[in-house]
Amino acid sequence: MNTSKQIMIIVSLLFLSLIATGAYTMWDPNRAEEAKERQIETAVWRGAFLFSQNCIACHGDAGEGGQRSNRLREAPPLNRPDLQGRETEGGEVSEPAKDAAFDTVFNTINCGRVGKAMPTWGLDHGGVLNAEQIRQLTLLITEGTGWEDSEHFAIEGFPEGDVHGYGEVPFELEEPIAEADTEIALSDVSTLAVGERLQFAEELALITAVDPEANTVTVERGLGTTAAADHPLDVDLLKPPVPPDPPPVTGAACGQFPQEVATAVPDPPGVDLTITSSGLAWNKTELYALPDVPLTLTHQNEDAGQQHNWALYGTEEGAITGEGLIAATEIEVGPGEQFLNFGPLAVGEYYYQCDVHPQMNGFVIVAPPSADAPAAVPPATDGEATAVPDGAAPPAEEAPAEEATAP
């Protein structure tokens, strides 16, 4: 082979090498991104299984929250946009907000919440999960793509046969159930106990008595937000987890210490109500209002970057079903201030919540002022009543010196 041919071959090989290198350089970022997506998808799937093993008794099968799933009332919903870096459901993802949510969720799972029912899960702090397992749970919550898997694992168990969550029920109905029935005949009651739950389709029932000889259980029908109904013999029968009732966690963890809580003195019933949202919590869980007069509410949102509103419902069940709304402010991002005119209301208790964070809730208690408390609304002058802000002392009335009394 002569020198010119050798040179041509070398040049051709170099040229092909450059083309191959360029092609690989262009393709490699896509390959790396696809690999990252597969890793996240696998981690979310594993997180969904971990969730079904450890978290559904409080937060619900699909992270819908304890209130909506009839589990631990205080457990907040986890399948929500702010934990995915979004301002609204289906909105654009803000990567900084998502990163901040990841850190918050990871630390909360790892360390728990002192003074709350959220326990410590991290191995380094006395829990049972390692850092990788906590990362998988955190990705489930911040990605928001694995909740259907979590619900499936909770009810059906792991695909390879390990049963967790609800588990398989070793019994079946012996007779159809009528809406008014409270005594349920089963094929076997040996695995049931008072205080456990049964689920017929969507209805929950609480077991109040077990009769092993007759193979029957006595139940309280329509538990929580569910309603009693007729059920056929082949109804889907489940044994859902019972929400725990632990005392608040008061020990120190990850540098957290319980805060001293001052005893709050309730405001007297008034017409001008005030409430503040801060740290995903209300500063008041009870507001006191006068009956049969127009009312106003001032909502101070101190949570920067968080969406809040104040919504008043006739009952807690109304808030869950979306019915019975009395009045509400718009959902707005904090910080900011909102004003709402509503009422009059009759004497009674009314439920309020933030519709974005239903764990933020409380009650408006409508009652006339007590005889031994200062009136929040002074006596009418010229036929008109003057509103006094919540907690403010009413102006003194003019009276003869010998009849004047201390305020």
pLDDT digits (tens, 9 = 90+) for 8-65: 778 777 877 777 776 666 666 666 678 788 899 999 999 999 999 899 999 999 999 9
CB distance 126 to 270 below 8 Å: no
Same domain, 210 and 101: no
pLDDT of residue 336: 92
Same domain, 198 and 151: no
Same domain, 187 and 148: no
Same domain, 96 and 196: no
Same domain, 331 and 368: yes
3-state secondary structure of 128: coil
CATH code for the domain in which residue 76 is found: 1.10.760
- Kindly state whether residue 9 falls inside one of the protein's structural domains: no
CB distance 285 to 73 below 8 Å: no
Instruction: Say whether pTM exceeds 0.85.
Output: no
pLDDT of residue 304: 82
- Kindly state whether residue 34 falls inside one of the protein's structural domains: yes
Sorted by sequence, the CB contacts under 8 Å of residue 255 that are 6+ apart come out as none
What whole-number distance in Å separates Cα of residue 243 and Cα of residue 178?
27
User: For 114-123, what is the mean pLDDT?
Assistant: 86
pLDDT of residue 375: 44
For 195, the domain range is 183-238
pLDDT tens profile 211-259: 999 999 999 999 888 899 999 999 989 988 888 776 667 677 787 766 5
CB distance 249 to 112 below 8 Å: yes
Same domain, 125 and 39: yes
- Kindly state whether residue 128 falls inside one of the protein's structural domains: yes
CATH code for the domain in which residue 279 is found: 2.60.40.420
Would you state the structure tokens that stand for residue 405, as one six-digit string? 């009394």
3-state secondary structure of 69: coil
Sorted by sequence, the CB contacts under 8 Å of residue 343 that are 6+ apart come out as 289, 293, 294, 295, 327
pLDDT confidence band for 386 (50 / 70 / 90): very low
3-state secondary structure of 46: helix
Name the least confident of 140-154, 159-173, 323-337.
Answer: 159-173
- Kindly state whether residue 321 falls inside one of the protein's structural domains: yes
Domain boundary among 95, 121, 156: 156
- Kindly state whether residue 266 falls inside one of the protein's structural domains: no
What whole-number distance in Å separates Cα of residue 280 and Cα of residue 303?
7
pLDDT of residue 163: 46
Same domain, 49 and 119: yes
Q: How many domains does the chain have?
A: 3
Residue 153: half-sphere exposure toward Cβ, Cα within 13 Å: 25
- Kindly state whether residue 329 falls inside one of the protein's structural domains: yes
Same domain, 363 and 318: yes
- Kindly state whether residue 205 falls inside one of the protein's structural domains: yes
Residue 129 has pLDDT above 60, yes or no: yes
pLDDT confidence band for 404 (50 / 70 / 90): very low
What whole-number distance in Å separates Cα of residue 302 and Cα of residue 74?
22
Q: For the chain, how big is the Rg over CA atoms in Å?
A: 30
Three-state secondary structure of the chain: CCHHHHHHHHHHHHHHHHHHHHHHHHHHHHHHHHHHHHHHHHHHHHHHHHHHHHCHHHHCCCCCCCCCCCCCCCCCCCCCHHHHCECCCCCCECHHHHHHHHHHHHHHHHHCCCCCCCCCCEHHHCCCECHHHHHHHHHHHHHCCCHHHHHHHHHHCCCCCCCCCCCCCCCCECCCECCCCCEEEECCCCCCCCCCEEEECCEEEEEEEEECCCCEEEEECCCCCCCCCCECCCCCEECCCCCCCCCCCCCCECCECCCCCCCCCCCCCECEEEEEECCCCECCCEEEECCCCCEEEEEEECCECCEECCEEECCHHHHHHCCCEEEECCCEEECEEEEEEECCCCCEEEEEECCCCCCCEEEEEECCCCCCCCCCCCCCECCECCCCECCCCCCCCCCCHHHCCCC
Same domain, 28 and 146: yes
What whole-number distance in Å separates Cα of residue 298 and Cα of residue 258?
30
Same domain, 36 and 125: yes
Same domain, 187 and 292: no
